[in-house]
Homo-oligomer: A and B are copies of this chain.
Amino acid sequence: MFFHRQELQHSAKPDAPDAVYARKLQEVLGGQYGEITVAMQYQFQAWNMHLPGKYRDLVFGIGAEEMGHVEMLAVMIAQLLEKAPLGITGDAVQDDPTVAAVIGGTDVQQGIVAGAGARPVDSNGNPWQGSYITASGNLLADFTANANAEMQGRIQVARLYHMTDDHGIRDLLGFLLARDTMHQNQWLAAAAELREEGVEELPVPSNFPLSKENRDVAYQYLNFSDGAAAAEGGWASGPTPDGKGEFSYHDGPTTSAPMPPPTHPDARFYGTTDVPDTVEKVAGRIQDKLNKE
């Protein structure tokens, strides 16, 4: 169960309205790596988790915080839109070309659809969607996904920080950046703890019998482009992070197989096929002719 308190985790109050910035801020509210994504991702991981205890409590504990981050951003966007002009009529442009200059940068649906409000979309107006989240049931994979989500999110907030001079917005972003710092650290710590405790190891999933994979190519770097520098990296020689092999470097594939012959599905799929079917086709046409007569 979830309980709501009509308070924010941090102040979300701009110094002044800014309809153009209100659009940009949608990215970290409703974008691929926005707050709705992490809120939903952590909660679905919690609901599907097969393990009681600290890992599940962790995911539950953070999921609800992220819902509160969605709220801070939505409330901030609504205020940024408070004095949003309805649009630019001819006269308005004449009066103030500077205001007109930035009008192209607004999200017109924030006005037409939401009446100067926040929306569950990204900064280009694409609706948030369930396929943004990751919850596989495998914790080492999912915590890596979480670490990535917090990194991408912090990068986006950092970029947004420089796109405004408003102290109120920067104050909120400074808070979100710090929480992203925490969450990056936390997921990396949790991923490390999974490995230390032997709950999960590399390669993920670690309990799939390695004997069933083709071990010959399991540590080969195969270079399918012509850049020679890839041979200099730590992925081209030396021990592998999973501790189970040695990297080796190869220019191009080390294996190959002939392309199988084209398939011949049932003729009634009407795909284009070669001779045998053509005969059949001719027969079909003859039948047509006979039927016509």
Contacts and interface: CB of A to CB of B under 8 A. Distances in A.
Nearest to A146: B148
A119 B44 contact: yes
Contacts of A93: 98, 101-102
B3 A64 contact: yes
A27 B109 contact: yes
Contacts of A52: 261-262, 274
Interface residues of A, number: 217
Contacts of A135: 114, 117, 119
A65 B252 CA distance: 9
17 contacts: A1-B8, A2-B5, A2-B71, A6-B259, A12-B257, A60-B225, A65-B224, A81-B263, A105-B108, A115-B137, A119-B135, A136-B155, A138-B155, A161-B208, A184-B203, A209-B291, A210-B292
B133 A224 contact: no
A280 B4 CA distance: 33
Contact of A87 (B82, B133, B162): B162
A158 B219 CA distance: 18
Given A58-B233, A109-B124, A208-B270, A189 B257 contact: no
Interface string A176-204: 01111110111011101110001110111
Contacts of A81: 263, 265
A190 B186 CA distance: 21
A163 B233 contact: no
A103 B98 CA distance: 12
Q: Which 10 pairs of residues, A with B, have the shortest CB-CB distance? A: A104-B104, A57-B227, A124-B125, A115-B137, A48-B117, A137-B271, A87-B163, A120-B130, A127-B130, A205-B270
Interface in A45-102: 47-58, 60-65, 67-68, 70-71, 74-75, 78-79, 81-91, 93-94, 97-98, 100-102
A75 to B, nearest CB: 6
Given A3-B224, A217-B178, A79 B263 contact: yes
B82 A23 contact: no
Contacts of A228: 57
Given A225-B3, A270-B155, A234 B189 contact: yes
A143 to B, nearest CB: 9
Interface string A109-144: 101111111111111111111111111111111001
B266 A209 contact: no
